[in-house]
Structure 1
Amino acid sequence: MTTAPIVSKVWSFCTTLRDDGVGYGDYLEQLTYLIFLKMADEYSRLPYNRDVGIPAGYDWSSLTTRRGAELEGHYVLLLRKLGEQRGMLGQIFTKAQNKITDPAKLFRLIAMVDGTQWVTLEADVKGDIYEGLLERNAEDTKSGAGQYFTPRALIRAMVNCVRPESGKTIADPACATGGFFLAAHEFLTNPEHHTLD
């Protein structure tokens, strides 16, 4: 699946939740939690077989097998339990709360996330999805994300003008999606931009 269909699918669900009073930021937060948990599940299976540190009973499959109020209650417990874990896992889920109070919509969001193999998508594709959501939000609201979203084509043009050099510091104080860092990395790793000394 390419970026555009995923962005469209994810954005259409965002619109549905917004009609129920779930803001864009809350939606993106919940989506991030669920995608992270789904990716952890994918990494715990073949061919990766990694120990991802998710406690038994609080993994991805514990969400996909529940419905209704049971699902909503379990999701609240899952967020709390993962937030209590040590290391990166606990940091990601610290103070996480469920913002989707309609269990049917929570189930649909989980099903939507479940329908994509997130680990197989390249990092820049995931970044493109996130930027696509920011762009859609900026176009839709004409505020909020529009204050810091810079289109990818403009980022590439700016990086090509600046021509970053290996060993030099690259800074992006606004760093919303890391687009400047990714474009600088692409520039630096492209053999066309190197000369032999």
Structure 2
Amino acid sequence: MWIYDLRTNKHFTLKTRPLRFEDLQDFIAAYQPGQRHQRTASERFRYFDYATLTARDKASLDIFWLKDDSLDDLDNLPAPDVLAQEIIEHLEAALAAFREVAAALPARVPTLNQ
């Protein structure tokens, strides 16, 4: 299975740094859908064979290999207002997704026991 890591050290946000088509160019070049046999591994694109994947704890696909610079370099964290905005955006997106799930649930019909 080929995995492309677009999340490590990229810091996309909905409002201040949204994902753009240009951000996907490296992935598009590496993916080669019509020529899978010609794919080559790179810093962000790696191949994991079946034995490697099934040897992981419960065959977890939460795979990462790039070092997240923000975890070690505390002097270069985004400004607090940027972090706060990212947290707000993530929470708002999660809340919107939860509202969609809740709206799709069937209405509960009361029974005589309630």
Whether these two folds match at TM > 0.5 is no
The structure that is helix-richer by fraction is 1
* Bigger Rg, structure 1 or 2: 2
Scaled by the length of structure 2, the TM-score of the pair is 0.30
The structure that is strand-richer by fraction is 2
Greater RCO, 1 or 2 (C-alpha within 8 Å, sep 6+): 2
